[in-house]
Amino acid sequence: MGPKEAQYNNQRLLNEGQSQALIRWINHLTEKGLPLTNSMLANFARDICGRKPGKNWAIRWLRSHSDQVISRYSMGLDMDRKNADKAWKYAIVKEAVNDVYDKKSKKLSNEVHRIQAENALLKAQVEGLQRTVVNLKKRQNKKKPLLLDLHSEKEGGAIFFSPSKVQQARDLQLQKDKNTAQEQARKDDKKLQQKLAREAQKLERIEKAQIRQTKREQRQQEAAEKERQKEEQKLAKLADLQLQKDVLTTPKPCTNQRNPNSKQSKPKISNEAKEEVIEEVIATNRRGRQIRLPVRYR
């Protein structure tokens, strides 16, 4: 490929793959009775590549792909076709084109391939397990030879398979199988006891954890209750201080004012009466204690 051809390909709005995908959609929509217009084609190209095509790009593109496009409208469109460019049909076509280049579609395709691969692996694993089970069954059904523990009176001599010898061999095999079964039962019982012990320990740990959680919640509740009581005491103290402040800042009635229309002056109040008035003004707090004013405010 020469430098001119490479420069031409770089300047192209759509590459070959994008053009082929757009041609397929155009032919599909045309077969459905919705041929595209130049403006619709330009909008699709802009959505695909992210760049705005030129004014005459749609005409040039249709001319260069005239052998692949089934049919097209270029001129002489009626008002209904122009309105279709902005109506629900254009939305359907745009959604169909977006599905091809949508990342979610690619992600779904990758997920399908992954599931297919996992399914193949699981199928192979199941087949292997089935073969293993068949082999184990064959081994279990294998016949056991008798007379293995019987010896002749003379080493290297022949053994006569008399009915008594066969019965003796069978008895020995039964005893051997019985011992094997007892040993297996003992092992199974031991495993069961160990499992029960582990479960008991697990339950004990769970109970201890629940007890610790209950104690922790109880401590938290006690701490919250103490904090609430402390806050109430603090608020009560602030209320007492505010009450004292209100008492101190309350203006006293002026006793020296005289009525200008009356020449008679008010009688003087004795010290004992003043003390009684002061004692009446003294207030109490919420706990019933008297609020005593400092000496300088008396």
Tens of pLDDT, residue by residue over 151-205, are 555 556 566 667 887 788 888 888 988 999 999 999 999 999 999 999 999 999 9
- The pLDDT score that the predictor gives to residue 66 is 76
Q: What gap in Å lies between CA 69 and CA 35, rounded to an integer?
A: 10
Return the SS3 of 70: coil
Model pLDDT for residues 67-109, shown as the tens digit of each residue: 777 654 444 444 455 555 555 666 676 676 666 666 666 777 7
Side chain identity at residue 80, one-letter code: D
Q: What gap in Å lies between CA 259 and CA 240, rounded to an integer?
A: 39
* CB-based contacts of 266, cutoff 8 Å, min separation 6: 255, 258
- The pLDDT score that the predictor gives to residue 76 is 41
Greatest CA separation found in the chain? 162
- The pLDDT score that the predictor gives to residue 78 is 44
Percent of the chain with pLDDT over 90: 19
Q: What gap in Å lies between CA 194 and CA 188, rounded to an integer?
A: 10
Whether 39 contacts 90, CB under 8 Å:
no
- The pLDDT score that the predictor gives to residue 77 is 43
Q: What is the DSSP letter of 284?
A: B
Burial 163-196 (b: 16+ CB within 10 A, else e): eeeeeebeeebeeeeeeeeeeeeeeeeeeeeeee
Q: For the residues 2-12, what does the mean pLDDT come to?
A: 55
Is residue 222's pLDDT more than 60? Answer: yes
Cα distances (angstroms) measured from residue 83 to each of 90, 286, 297: 10, 82, 92
Q: Closest by alpha carbon to 150, among 126, 127, 167? A: 167
Domain-by-domain residue ranges, the chain?
8-101, 103-140, 186-247
Q: What gap in Å lies between CA 55 and CA 74, rounded to an integer?
A: 13
Cα distances (angstroms) measured from residue 280 to each of 23, 249, 268: 103, 17, 19
- The pLDDT score that the predictor gives to residue 277 is 47
Split at pLDDT 50, 70, 90, the class of 280 is low
- The pLDDT score that the predictor gives to residue 73 is 47
Highest mean pLDDT among 53-57, 151-155, 181-185, 245-249: 181-185
Global pTM value: 0.28
Is residue 268's pLDDT more than 60? Answer: no
- The pLDDT score that the predictor gives to residue 215 is 93
Q: For the residues 258-278, what does the mean pLDDT come to?
A: 51
Model pLDDT for residues 112-158, shown as the tens digit of each residue: 888 988 888 898 889 988 888 888 877 766 666 665 555 555 556 56
Q: What gap in Å lies between CA 122 and CA 99, rounded to an integer?
A: 32
Highest mean pLDDT among 59-63, 70-74, 286-290: 59-63
- The pLDDT score that the predictor gives to residue 226 is 94
Got the DSSP string for 218-239? HHHHHHHHHHHHHHHHHHHHHH
Return the SS3 of 290: strand
Average pLDDT of the chain to the nearest whole number: 75
- The pLDDT score that the predictor gives to residue 45 is 79
**Of 72-81, 211-220, 235-244, 283-292, which range is least confident?**
72-81
Split at pLDDT 50, 70, 90, the class of 229 is very high
Q: What gap in Å lies between CA 147 and CA 122, rounded to an integer?
A: 46
